[in-house]
Amino acid sequence: MKVVEVLVLIIAIIVIIILVVPFYTPPRTLISKPAPDFEFTDIENNKVKLSDFKGKVVLIDFMTTWCGPCRKQIEILKKLWPKYKDKGVVFMSISVSERDRERLPRFSLEYGIEWIIGVCSEAGVKYGITAIPTLVVVDEDGRVVFKHTGVLNADDLIKIIDKVLEE
């Protein structure tokens, strides 16, 4: 009988972990700190380095091509891109999956992505990405000012970007 009770307890713990982990947002330890620099090659074969955009607001969208919520976030970013592209805001969609390296050009065309897009799993590690999509906003001084895991609606994202632009 003890064995059955232990097994039930173990299974209950596993179920709780499976249900809770997707909603876990790690501590915002990066907020107000210098944004970790990273470098990658985008789908147009350009070298992209985050530190090259100091003086601009940068929105980093950590994603993968196979993630449904990531695709939803891309659609939201697509609506906001025209509003911010001429205001000094840089959009970057960074896949954290090396498997996406060959898929990204087609994905970019399919979704009409006009901003920087590439693969950089190293950036995902540096930013502590544990779930996707995750959005990170870096201010003109190169400091992380916002981090959110999960799909963020357009209205909330507009408020965040506008606030950073005003500061």
Q: Give yes or no for a contact between 77 and 93, defined as CB atoms under 8 angstroms apart.
A: yes
Q: Where are the domains of the chain?
A: 26-166
Q: CA 150: distance to chain centroid?
A: 9
Q: What is the pTM of this model?
A: 0.81
Assigned fold of 26-166: Glutaredoxin (3.40.30)
pLDDT one-digit tens code per residue, 137-154: 999 999 999 999 999 999
Going by pLDDT thresholds of 50, 70 and 90, the confidence category of residue 12 is: low
- Rounded CA separation 120/125 (Å): 9
Going by pLDDT thresholds of 50, 70 and 90, the confidence category of residue 111 is: very high
Q: What is the pLDDT of residue 79?
A: 96
Q: Give yes or no for a contact between 76 and 157, defined as CB atoms under 8 angstroms apart.
A: yes
In the predicted structure, residue 22 carries a pLDDT above the cut 90: no
Give residue 21's region: left, alpha or beta (phi > 0; psi -120 to 50).
alpha
- Rounded CA separation 124/74 (Å): 17
* Residue 134: both structure tokens together: 């995750």
Beta strands in 52-88 (DSSP E): 57-63
In the predicted structure, residue 25 carries a pLDDT above the cut 70: no
